[in-house]
Amino acid sequence: MSRAAGCPLCEGPGGSLVFECAAFRVIRANEAGFPAFYRVVWQEHVAEFSDLSPADRSVVMSAAVVVEQALREVLQPDKINLAALGNAVPHLHWHVVARYRWDERFPASVWSPVLRAPDAASLQAVEAKLEALDALISQRLRAGSGNCTGL
């Protein structure tokens, strides 16, 4: 498996590890103001989605769908943001983020300037569900992945 020196996603998990297999891992990113900010990280150091084989593309997108469905089921967000940028960290990973009308940047992106003060009570309500959410994501990926191919 290729690794790149200095790549934060090659050198560490990149957040709280939720699930890991040979092909990918799912982490909770622990981003301030966004408790339900997850990443599906390809284990091998590749920069672009098109660097993957068609089969591997299917695996990583299937994993992103599992994460999205679990977020929707457990948290009932107003919107799910799904993004793969890689400008700052050119290691293939998908951001899967539960968004709410009350979050401090909605409807703008999570990287945009803050638009309003944080809603502490709403943040705490989401945070209270994260342990169960992590367990559900892990259980569904374990049940569907086998060796993480053909989810």
C-alpha span between 147 and 59 (Å, rounded): 11
Label residue 133 exposed, middle or buried (CB < 10 Å: 0-12, 13-18, 19+).
buried
For the chain, the domains span: 8-144
Query: Is-contact 77 100, C-beta < 8 A?
Result: yes
Instruction: Report which of residues 119 and 1 the model is more confident about.
Output: 119
Lowest mean pLDDT among 2-11, 18-27, 86-95, 133-142: 2-11
CATH of domain 8-144: 3.30.428.10
Model confidence pLDDT, tens digit, residues 78-109? 999 999 998 888 899 999 999 999 999 999 99
| pTM: predicted TM-score of the whole model, two decimal places | 0.92
Angstrom distance (rounded) from CA 123 to CA 100? 10
